[in-house]
């Protein structure tokens, strides 16, 4: 329905309803998906159109190879988005093998100067799962101009225990404009898929023909006679006026249509605390009580006890999932009551892996995949409904017993193999150091189990949030390695990177990811280690330390009770500011300067609610430039605006014409940042 139409006019041409004419006329008729077999691409014949309505229909296709395809398309006209889901069924009497399956396959013709916008994922230029250099390669938006005949190829391609993460190398979200003009219309697209994937934007047999194809990474998909498999849903959204418009169309769609509500309302970025980074798992309730007090004093809303709250610690206690009474001798119920009495909700960490010999895999070994020898830890089998139901009941029982308000959910970690895997005391770092990487083909040679795995995982996430409306669910895969439409639609927030030590790296990652993802996600933590005497990495906890984490979910971590009174006062100030402006982080977003290419480059971005209220973040690390003028977007030139420096409260009246043409004048010292707010005067 997105692309396929009846030449006689019996079916509406949906691109004409939601896309600009310049894009719709280029989209060629087709079924919108593609399947390959050893002999080549499968040809499809349309059999019927069923359940046809103004905004939805089902199309049935048949092939000569024994495969049928049932394609359901939904149109969300208010957001100019089409969602397309295809289910394959083997109707033959013998097994059918596919060498590839792309839930999204488009062809455009008469293309003139095509352009692509993408964003790198969590890994840095060296391939490590968390960027540590500055400016980082992680979460860097890019615009690509393809040149005939060279293809532009993308993939997930993670490393280590995050190898199968969907956003390790690239965010699996893209924009495409078929014309060279900066303000030309186009569309964004992505899959509801949280595993490995590959995508290609390639030329056809001429420079004005473009083929777009996105699909899970699977090369041997075998369907037995009578078997069916549901391919991931493909989402396509149309926009006008270039990639800036595409950024805001994509963010708005994710926030309005995919992000689950929290406590029955649209989710806003939270103010949370995590014991890690800062603490490892060497803590007790008495160690944490002062930090609960400090968090409450500064206005933190959630206090999350990360990995290590269970017996056995991290990682060897993964799978016990019972409170360590040596750490919490009064029980976690009492700890929760202590925090709740101070106005703070509590949280915990849960993992989709387990160490052999712990309680859950011992009681239910069938809940875990049968891994090859020398692979650790065990991987939870979400393709089993009984395993899914057990996980739902376990988490829901925590919510009831502990009045749990926050859950850091890391269901995406991979086991690793190697000669150290059976050594007593082996840690994940030992495994990484001597790793044989996990691959789905090891446990899923026919390619179907991974689809059932993510279907089951989505069922768990949806069930947990539906049953526990007071629980905020955080997406975590080592930070930023599994950000995709499947996970974004089933979590309220996300942990963006384990590399939270430098505020400039944090701000770069948050602003970069905001090019596709709304700011209720993208948490970065202001971390305080146990021996933090110099505070050098945090610029002495000046304003930059806080501002560098405020373009997404705002998080403190570690030994915050060690902060002196002046730093706690600063924290209380910035948390108060964050609560006033956080609703803007899910509104319009504009990058006011190109992403930094060196330490000397400034960075700046704007969030706003149309021409009404807005905020501007500005960062300077080094360099000779002390003053910049930043031209603001979405400003009413006929209005006057009150502009306020949120650090000092100082401000003044500036005309909209000046803000939009000459720009907001900003002066910054080296290694500093500012946050301005504005509203009509």
Q: Which residues pair with 74 in a beta bridge?
A: 56, 83
- Model confidence band, residue 433 (pLDDT cutoffs 50, 70, 90): low
Q: Does position 426 have pLDDT exceeding 80, yes or no?
A: no
CATH number of the domain at 137, please.
Answer: 2.70.98.60
Residues 6+ apart with CB under 8 A from 205: none
CA distances from 632 to 519, 644, 672 (A): 19, 15, 21
Please state the rounded mean pLDDT for residues 628-648: 98
Give the SS3 label for residue 546. Answer: helix
**More confident of the two residues 376 and 492:** 492
pLDDT reading at 12 higher than 60: no
Mean pLDDT of 422-427: 51
| Residue 661, domain CATH | 2.60.40.1180
Give 390-422 as a 3 state SS string.
Answer: HHHHHHHHHHHHHCEEEEEEECCCCCEECCCCC
Closest alpha carbon to 432 in 116, 127, 69, 8: 127
Interval 576-595 mean pLDDT: 98
Output the 3-class SS for 486-499.
Answer: HHHCCCCEEECCCC
Q: Which two tokens stand for residue 183?
A: 């303000």
Q: In what order do the strands lie in the sheet with 100-102?
A: 40-41, 34-37, 100-102
Residue 263 lies in a domain: no
pLDDT tops 50 at residue 8 = no
pLDDT confidence band for 134 (50 / 70 / 90):
confident
Helical (H) or strand (E) element with 287: helix 285-298
Domain range spanning residue 571? 271-586
**Residue 186: C-alpha distances to residues 142, 606, 635 (Å):** 16, 23, 24
Of 544, 566, 586, the residue that ends a domain is 586
155: Cα separation from own chain's centroid: 16
Six token digits for residue 10: 């019996």
Pick the last residue of a domain from 553, 586, 619.
Answer: 586
Same domain for 320 and 403? yes
Confidence class for position 372, pLDDT limits 50, 70, 90: confident
Tens digit of each residue's pLDDT (9 = 90 or more) over 138-177: 999 999 999 999 999 999 988 777 888 999 999 999 999 9
Q: Are residues 581 and 599 in the same domain?
A: no
Tens-place pLDDT, residues 30-88: 899 999 999 999 999 999 988 777 788 899 999 999 999 999 999 999 999 999 999 99
Task: Look at residue 530 in the predicted model and tell me its pLDDT.
Answer: 61
CATH number, residue 335 = 3.20.20.70
Q: Which residues are bridge partners to 417 per DSSP?
A: 375, 436
Q: Which residues contact 645 (CB under 8 A, 6 or more apart)?
A: 651, 674, 675, 676
Least confident piece of the model among 419-423, 546-550, 603-607, 645-649: 419-423
* Pair 570, 593 in one domain: no
Residue 127 has pLDDT above 60, yes or no: no
Residues 104-126 have a mean pLDDT of 90
Does position 425 have pLDDT exceeding 70, yes or no? Answer: no
Q: Which of 53-62, 485-494, 511-520 has the lowest mean pLDDT?
A: 53-62
| Residues 472 and 404 sit within 8 Å (Cβ to Cβ) | no
Same domain, 21 and 169: yes
Mean pLDDT (whole number) for 653-663: 98
Range of weakest confidence among 225-229, 281-285, 626-630 = 281-285
Domain boundary among 561, 586, 611: 586
Alpha helices in 491-630 (DSSP H): 503-513, 543-547, 565-581
Q: Are residues 154 and 240 in the same domain?
A: yes
Q: Do you find a cis peptide bond into 178, omega within 30 degrees of 0? A: no
Residue 527 and residue 509 in one domain: yes
Q: What percent of the chain has pLDDT over 70?
A: 92
The reported pLDDT for the residue numbered 123 is 80
Tokens of 15: 């691109």
Give the tokens for residue 512: 């970069």
Q: How far apart are CA 395 and CA 347, in angstroms?
A: 11
Region label for 36, one of left (φ > 0), alpha (ψ between -120 and 50) or beta (otherwise): beta
Lowest mean pLDDT among 156-165, 290-299, 339-348: 156-165
Q: How far is CA 595 from CA 121, 598, 629, in A?
A: 15, 9, 16
Helix (H) or strand (E) holding 463: helix 449-467
Q: How many domains does the chain have?
A: 3
Residue 239 shares a structural domain with residue 364: no
Model confidence band, residue 3 (pLDDT cutoffs 50, 70, 90): very low
Q: Would 105 be classed as within a structural domain?
A: yes
Q: Check residue 17 and give its pLDDT.
A: 66
The angle formed by the CA atoms of residues 639, 642 and 648, to the nearest 5 degrees, is 165
State mean pLDDT over 231-260.
98
Cα–Cα distance, 346 to 344 (Å, whole number): 7
């Amino acid at each position: 329905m997105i692309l396929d139409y009846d030449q006689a006019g019996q079916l509406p041409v949906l691109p004409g309803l939601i896309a600009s004419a310049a894009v719709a006329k280029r989209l060629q008729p087709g079924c919108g998906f593609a399947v390959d077999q050893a002999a080549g691409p499968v040809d499809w014949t349309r059999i019927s159109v069923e359940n046809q309505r103004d905004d939805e229909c089902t199309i049935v296709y048949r092939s000569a190879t024994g495969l049928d395809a049932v394609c359901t398309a939904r149109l969300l006209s208010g957001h100019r988005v089409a969602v397309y889901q295809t289910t394959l069924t083997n109707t033959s009497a013998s097994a059918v093998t596919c060498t590839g399956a792309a839930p999204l396959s488009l062809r455009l013709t008469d293309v003139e100067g095509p352009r692509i916008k993408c964003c790198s994922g969590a890994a840095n230029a060296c391939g490590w799962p968390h960027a540590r250099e500055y400016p980082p390669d992680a979460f860097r938006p890019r615009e690509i101009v393809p040149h005939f005949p060279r293809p532009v190829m993308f993939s997930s391609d993670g490393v280590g225990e995050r190898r199968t993460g969907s956003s390790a190398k690239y965010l699996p979200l893209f924009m495409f404009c078929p014309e060279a003009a900066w303000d030309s219309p186009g569309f964004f697209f992505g899959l509801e898929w949280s595993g490995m994937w590959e995508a290609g934007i390639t030329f056809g047999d001429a420079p004005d023909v473009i083929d777009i194809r996105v699909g899970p990474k699977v090369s041997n998909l075998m369907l037995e006679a009578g078997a069916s498999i549901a391919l991931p849903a493909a989402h396509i959204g149309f926009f006008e006026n270039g990639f800036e418009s595409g950024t805001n169309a994509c963010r708005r769609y994710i926030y309005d249509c995919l992000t689950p509500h929290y406590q029955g309302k649209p989710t806003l970025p939270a103010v949370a605390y995590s014991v890690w980074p800062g603490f490892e798992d060497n803590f007790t309730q008495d160690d944490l009580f002062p930090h609960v007090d400090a968090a409450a004093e500064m206005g933190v809303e959630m206090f999350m006890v990360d990995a290590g709250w269970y017996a056995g610690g991290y990682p060897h206690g993964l799978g016990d999932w019972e409170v360590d009474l040596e750490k919490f001798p009064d029980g976690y119920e009492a700890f929760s009551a202590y925090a709740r009495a101070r106005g703070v909700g509590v949280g915990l960490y849960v993992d989709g892996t387990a160490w052999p010999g712990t309680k859950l895999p011992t009681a239910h070994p069938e809940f875990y995949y049968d891994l090859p020898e020398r692979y650790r830890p065990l991987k939870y089998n979400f393709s089993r409904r009984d395993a899914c139901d057990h996980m739902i009941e376990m988490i829901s029982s925590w919510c009831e017993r502990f009045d749990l308000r926050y859950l850091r959910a890391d269901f995406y970690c991979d086991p690793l193999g190697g000669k150290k895997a059976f050594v007593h005391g082996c840690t994940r770092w030992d495994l990484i150091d001597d790793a044989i990487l996990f691959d789905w083909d090891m446990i899923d040679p026919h390619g179907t189990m991974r689809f059932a795995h993510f279907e089951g995982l989505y069922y768990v996430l949806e069930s947990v949030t539906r049953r526990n409306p007071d629980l905020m669910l955080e997406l975590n895969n080592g930070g930023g390695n599994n950000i995709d439409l499947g996970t974004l639609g089933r979590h309220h927030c996300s942990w963006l990177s384990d590399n939270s030590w430098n505020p400039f790296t944090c701000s770069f990652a948050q602003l970069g990811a905001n090019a596709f993802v709304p700011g209720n996600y993208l948490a970065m933590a202001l971390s305080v280690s146990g021996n933090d005497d110099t505070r050098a990495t945090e610029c002495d906890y000046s304003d930059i330390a806080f501002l560098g984490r405020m373009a997404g979910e705002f998080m403190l971590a570690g030994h915050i009770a060690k902060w002196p009174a002046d730093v706690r006062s600063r924290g209380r100030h910035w948390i108060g500011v964050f609560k006033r402006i956080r609703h803007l982080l899910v509104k319009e977003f504009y990058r006011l300067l190109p992403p930094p290419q060196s330490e000397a480059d400034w960075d700046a971005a704007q969030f706003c609610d149309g021409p009404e209220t807005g905020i501007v973040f500005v960062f300077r690390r080094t360099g000779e430039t002390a003053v910049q003028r930043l031209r603001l977007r979405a400003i009413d030139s006929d209005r006057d605006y009150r502009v306020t420096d949120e650090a000092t409260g100082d401000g003044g009246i500036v005309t909209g014409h000046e803000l939009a043409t000459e720009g907001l004048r900003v002066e910054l010292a080296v290694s500093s940042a500012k946050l301005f707010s504005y509203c009509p005067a």
